[in-house]
Every structure is written in C-alpha cells, then in structure tokens.
Amino acid sequence: MIIQEQKPFDEILQSLEGEEKIFLVGCSLCATTCQVGGEDQLKEMEGKLKEKGKTITGWIVLDPACQAVEVKKKFRERKEEIEKADSILVMACGGGAQSVRENAERIKMNKIVHPGVNTLFQGEIIRGGHFEERCSLCAECVLEQTGGICPITRCTKGLLNGPCGGSSNGKCEVDPERDCGWDLIYKRLKEIGQLEKMSELREAKDYSKLMKPRTLILEGDKK
Amino acid sequence: MRLREAFESGKFALTAEVAPPKGTDLSHVMEEVEVFKGRVHGVNVTDLQSSVMKMGSLTVCHLIKDKGVEPVFQVTCRDRNRLALQSDLLNASALGIENVLCLTGDYTTLGDHPQAKPVFDLDSVQLLQAAVKLQNGEDMAGEKLEGNPKFFLGAVVNPGADPLEPQLIKMEKKIKAGAQFFQTQAVYDPSIFERFMKEASKFKVPVMLGIVMLKSAGMAKYMNENVAGVFVPDALIAEMKETPKEDRPKKSVEICARLIKEMKDMCQGVHLMPLGWGKHVPAILDAVGL
C-alpha cells in the first residue's frame, strides 16, 4: 500500500492559481484507503474548490490511477469534461499523478496535472487509518537473516550488523517512543532460536540495485 | 609512546578527547591539546559530534599531530558514503594518522542540521572491514591500491546498554571485522562496568573505560534522560548539586579520579571526555597516579 496524505488545501489552491476549470482524479486503491482520493474526498474537494470560485468540470475515481490502460480508457470516455478543464488535480500518489499526465498526453489530452497529495511510504495497514512503514523497497530482501523484521526500515539508520550505541531499553536514540529495530530483531531471533544469525558479518548493501528510475519487465512481456 | 605501543607493551593506555570548533578559531582546541601533551597516548578528535556541523576531524588530527600529539581520527558513517570514507582513510594515512576510531554516528535529526540527508551507506562494522581491506592493498570494490595505508583500528561499545547481549554480539563482530581496541560510552557506575567486562574480557581486546567529566547536576540528569545507555547514579548527582559552582571542576576531578580508581583494574585504559574542561584532565591523572 502506498501511504499518502492530502497536501494542505492552501498549497493546492495556490497551484491552481489562474486556472478556473478543474477536473478531479482519484484512485480506487491506496488513495481511497488513505482517504485522500476516494469518491468522498473528491466530492469534498469539489465543494471546497467551488467555494473558492473554481468550476469542477467533472471527477473520476480511476481503478487504479497507476495503470496506463485504465487512464486512457476512462479519459477517452470522459473526454468532454476533461477537455473543458484548464487542468487536472490528481488526488492520488505521485505514481498515479504521473501516470495520469503521461497517459493523457499519449492520447493527445495534454493537460497540466497538479498533485494534490504527498506520497509518504510503502506501508502496512495496522488498522483503519493507522499505517506504518515496514519495507523500504531495497531490492535485496534480508528478512531471512533478521527474523522477518527489516533492519533497513525498522532501524532508523538502516544498519545491517546490529544496534548502534543509541539503542536503549528497546528504544531508538532519535525518539524515545520509537522501537529500536535491532532490539526487535534480537528478541525475535532469540525467540525462534536463530540468534546466531545476528553474529554473522553482513556485507555493505549494493545500492546500484536502487538506481533510479527502476524498471521491471516480466519475461513474457519482453519484445 | 604511541597508542598502539602502549597496548602492546601492556601499559595502561590513556586518551582524551577534543572537539573541533564551529568556525575556524582553533585556539581552545590547541590549548587543550597542549595540556594533554605528554600525559596521554592519544587525543581523539570528534567527527561532527552529535551531528552538529563543525570543522572536520581529519584537519584537526593533522594540526595536532604537527604539535607532537598523537591523534585518534574519529570517523562516523553518517555523512560520507563508501567512496568518501575510504578516501578519507587514505587521506589520514597520507598525513601519518594511524589511529582510526570507527563509529556509526548519531542520527542527523539530533543535530543542528536536521534536514540533512543521512548517509549510513556503511555501518561501523563494514567501515572496519573496509579499513582492513585497504591495509591489505585493495579497496571495497576489490581494486588494487598503489601503496597500502596502515591503521590502528578502534571501535566503541556501550557497557550500559540494556539489554547488553546485542552490544556484546556487535562488539564481537567489530573484532572479527578488525577492531584492535575499544573505547566505551561514559560509565559512572562500577557495577555496570563490572557486569560488562565480565563478558567483554573474554574477547581479549583492550577496552578503554569512557569517562565524561560531570559539569553539574543538570548535565548529569540530562545525560540520564537523553543519552542512551548512560546512567549517572543519584548519589553522584547529589554530590554535584551540593557543590557550589566555583568548586564544581574540583569536585568533577575528584569524582572522575574515584571512578577511574574503582574501575581501572578491570580494563586496559581510560578514555577521558572532558567536554571543554580539558585543562582539568592533568589533575584527574595526578589524582590516580597515571
């Protein structure tokens, strides 16, 4: 799940300055779960923008915004409302906003696209609206060695060889409320009888695997 | 006598610490170093301690070496990636700086530039490994070096960590990676140090007891609340509290000397962190007969 939050309304308003007619785009997946780009939030945004003198030419919740085919199909269906607009405000993650811009452009519906949310992290839904980061998308999963708890993510410094000197009573030096990731790993490894894994020297990470932008094409889709 | 030689000859090793200035005025650092000269085997120079932007450790190490003092170059992983870290290790070697203390480094948000991008490309264990590799004539990428550096590698450990076992596991990894001596986080409770040394002495690597000079009761309380694994017992806080301001340096010296006397037989050296009170370090050493 891509965790995201709405940008401050004033910032959104500022980005729409000089534009009067706006088309709103949301997303049925992460943005809906995070309550920024579902039907309810788009309606709310429509109301608030109208109050500020904007005209909303229409809105749509894409299913999902990050899929090229979906954007192109739905945009063709809603061509009239989109063409009327000065710009598009996307209430979905940065990936969604770019997918909207890119695919609209591909079908010659070249509009200015504004991001309405800040994309935060890849997270786990703890409950309802409580999300926490568990994976840093590091391209080299080490969970096997760390009792299923990610040191790259749970340790603030992303250390691979155990806790730093800032670990105290199970908490991290940056914030007494924050669990020390290595304390969690230590306790888990001990519990499952694999503490010896903590003694193994871990090599420095290969950051070339994180060179951006990353692409993956499955075998069957290679030309 | 160099730090390495002190350990090798079984002498009780002494180091003290200075912090580079925020700015270019080195007068205070140089005054402290003059005081330490001839009294300690090495002087640590901190590396942007507590993530506060300052003059770099390497430059100050070089300058104090010119004054005839043996530097201990502190290197953290917070601000440099593996290219810069290895390069700085070569820089140190070119300047004749042999002692390198490898640390993870405090997190960026704890300092005065909380917006800075934290690096942590390597951790302290991997930094030690990298230094050993350089000594053996190749870099982390396996490329051959023209001329090998030579280091005396140190690392840190926190005897007051709770639980202690993860610290000991990491300490052992640091030794496997190449650590030849340890300096500890500040210890104020001999029973904590005893508990630690009971486990750590089996590694047969010299350990230097860390001592931070107490400046006031407020400072002690602050450390108890904010510095991980540092515990100043209430009795010491009370002692500082009862001491009028002008007598505090004297009291601090007395406490340091007492702590060193109680713990020196458990370890192989002492690392003094006077935090600007460097001029009182000789009095501590005199009081313990070192």
The model's pLDDT over B115-142, given as tens digits with 9 standing for 90+, comes to 999 999 999 999 999 999 999 999 999 9
Q: Which residues of chain A fall below pLDDT 50? A: none
- Contact criterion met (CB < 8 Å) for A163 and B123: no
Residue at A199 is within a domain:
yes
As a whole number, mean pLDDT of residues B215-242 equals 94
> What confidence category does residue B178 fall into, taking pLDDT thresholds of 50, 70 and 90?
very high
Residue A85 sits in the same domain as residue A180: no
Q: What's the angle, vertex CA B18, arms to CA B91 and CA B210, rounded to 5?
A: 105
This model of the complex carries an ipTM of 0.95
Q: What integer pLDDT is reported at residue A64 of this predicted model?
A: 98
- Tell whether A152 lies on the interface with B, counting CB pairs under 8 A: no
Residue B130: list chain A partners with CB under 8 A.
204
Tell me: do A188 and A114 sit in the same domain. Answer: no
Contacts of A217 (CB under 8 A, 6+ apart): none
| Per-residue model confidence (pLDDT) at position B82 | 98
Q: What is the pLDDT of residues B48-82, one digit of tens each?
A: 999 999 999 999 999 999 999 999 999 999 999 99
Q: Are residue A42 and residue A104 in the same domain, yes or no?
A: yes
- pLDDT above 90 covers a percentage of chain B that reads 98
The verdict on A177 touching B (C-beta cutoff 8 Å) is: no
Taking residues B195-217, report their average pLDDT. Answer: 97
Q: What is the pLDDT of residue A4?
A: 98
> Quick check: B86 and B77 in contact, CB under 8 A?
no
Q: Is residue A223 part of a domain?
A: no
Total count of domains within chain A: 2
Residue A162 lies in a domain: yes
Residue that has been written with the tokens 């003094």 in this structure? B272
Judge whether A221 lies within some domain. Answer: no
Whether residue A182 sits in one domain with residue A72: no
Q: Do A52 and A93 reside in the same domain of the chain?
A: yes
d(CA B36, CA B3): 14
Whether the bond between A64 and the residue before it is cis, its omega within 30 degrees of 0, is yes
Choose one of A121, A145, A173: the last residue of a domain.
A121
- Do A194 and A99 share a structural domain? no
A114 and A202 in a common domain: no
Residues 112-141 of B with CB under 8 A from A: 118, 120-126, 129-130, 140
Query: Do residues A107 and A64 share a domain?
Result: yes
pLDDT at B92 over 90: yes
- Give percent above pLDDT 70 in chain B: 100
Instruction: Please state, rounded to an integer, the average pLDDT across all residues of chain B.
Output: 97
**Does the structure show a pLDDT above 90 at B1?**
no
Mean pLDDT of B229-254: 95
| Same structural domain, A114 and A172 | no
The residue among A140, A164, A183 with the most chain B CBs within 10 A of its CB, best to mutate, is A164
Q: How confident is the model at residue B226 (pLDDT cuts 50, 70, 90)?
A: confident
Domains and CATH numbers, chain B: 3-213+269-280 (3.20.20.220)
How far apart CA A198 and CA A16 sit, in angstroms, is 53
- Does residue A217 belong to any structural domain of this protein? no
Mean pLDDT of B6-28: 97
Range of the domain at A159: 137-210
Looking at residue A7, which CATH number applies to its domain?
3.40.50.2300
Which of the listed residues A121, A153, A181 is the one where a domain comes to its end? A121
* Inside any domain, residue A128: no
pLDDT higher than threshold 90 for residue B181? yes
* Pairing between β-strand A175-179 and β-strand B13-18 as defined by DSSP bridges: unpaired
Position A105 scores a pLDDT of 97
Tell me whether residue A222 is in a domain: no
**For B233-262, what is the mean pLDDT?**
97
Residue A14 lies in a domain: yes
